[in-house]
Amino acid sequence: MNNHNISKKNENIIEIKNLKKSYDKGKIKALNGINLEVKDGEFISIMGRSGSGKSTLLNMLGALDTADEGSIEVAGIDLMKTKKLDEFRSKKIGFIFQFHNLIPNLTVVENVEIPLYETKTSNKDMRARALELLDDVNLSHRVDQRPNTLSGGERQRVAIARALVNHPSIILADEPTGSLDSKTGDVILNLLNDIQKKENVTLIMVTHEPEVAKRAERIVTVLDGKLSENC
């Protein structure tokens, strides 16, 4: 690790204070005063029972939805105030979901290129970057196939490559191994780990499973819309 990486680690890339979000005109308090700081380059897991607010929190971090109250700063952007949420999402964030969400009529490499369409990257550079990441996830031999000809684990590896293609600051992964058997899940987690270090990104992973959560440097748990730190 070079000096740049060490100094980077000391900066907060996420700062959340007293964040609240309710649904159904206030009847469902999904987030009820969340406080969280995450250092640049950290890998953290978010745990908690079903319905505790994990996905809601991840959606706030990725600006897929807006909070009602409190403050949330991600990669230097104040998400309660900025008018450039689309730009924030496409430049700073990579998403990985439980189900890969690949587009069936595009090839593997075309799927990986999607987040670059909105940038000014040339076609040649898009292809080179997508192929680099497909090599990182050991799928160089599958680049021209359609997603429906791949296994579940292979599809999730394509989703990882797609999430990283635009050099995001943060990867938000919601149950990335939730649809896979434990052996395939392990392969995916090893890949995510390696690629997170190589690309030097912050990784926030939601999971139900303690064994999966333990992969992270830090585990936080959502309970009744609030966060507690596991020591």
Ligand X SMILES: Nc1ncnc2c1ncn2[C@@H]1O[C@H](COP(=O)(O)OP(=O)(O)OP(=O)(O)O)[C@@H](O)[C@H]1O
Rule CB under 5 A: which residues touch Mg ion?
A: 55
Q: Which of 93, 96, 2, 79 lies closest to 34, judged by CA?
A: 79
- Least Å distance, CB 23 to ligand X, is 3
Question: Within a 10 A sphere around the Cβ of 210, how many other Cβ atoms?
Answer: 11
Q: Does 144 bind ligand X (CB under 6 A)?
A: no
In the chain, where do the E strands start and end? 12-23, 28-39, 43-47, 69-74, 77-78, 93-96, 170-174, 202-206, 218-223, 226-229
Using CA atoms, how far apart are residues 157 and 182, in angstroms rounded to an integer? 15
Q: Does 55 bind ligand X (CB under 6 A)?
A: yes
Candidate residues 13, 30, 171, 180; the one interacting with ligand X per rule CB under 6 A: 30
Nearer Cβ to Mg ion (111/156): 156
CB of residue 20 to ligand X, shortest distance in Å:
12
Instruction: Report helix, strand or coil for 71.
Output: strand
Q: Is 48 or 94 the residue whose CB approaches ligand X more closely? A: 48
Q: Binding residues for ligand X, how many (CB under 6 A)?
A: 12
Q: Does 210 bind ligand X (CB under 6 A)?
A: no
| Single residue of 3, 10, 24, 144 touching ligand X by CB under 6 A | 24
DSSP state, residue 180:
S
Eight-state DSSP code of residue 201? -
- Residue found under tokens 């797609």: 162
Q: Min. distance of Cβ 60 from Mg ion in angstroms?
A: 13
Which is nearer to ligand X, 55 or 196 (by Cβ)?
A: 55
51 binds ligand X (CB under 6 A): yes
Six token digits for residue 129:
């970057």
Of the pair 55, 207, the CB lying nearest Mg ion is at 55
Q: Which residues bind ligand X (CB under 6 A)?
A: 23-24, 28, 30, 48, 50-56
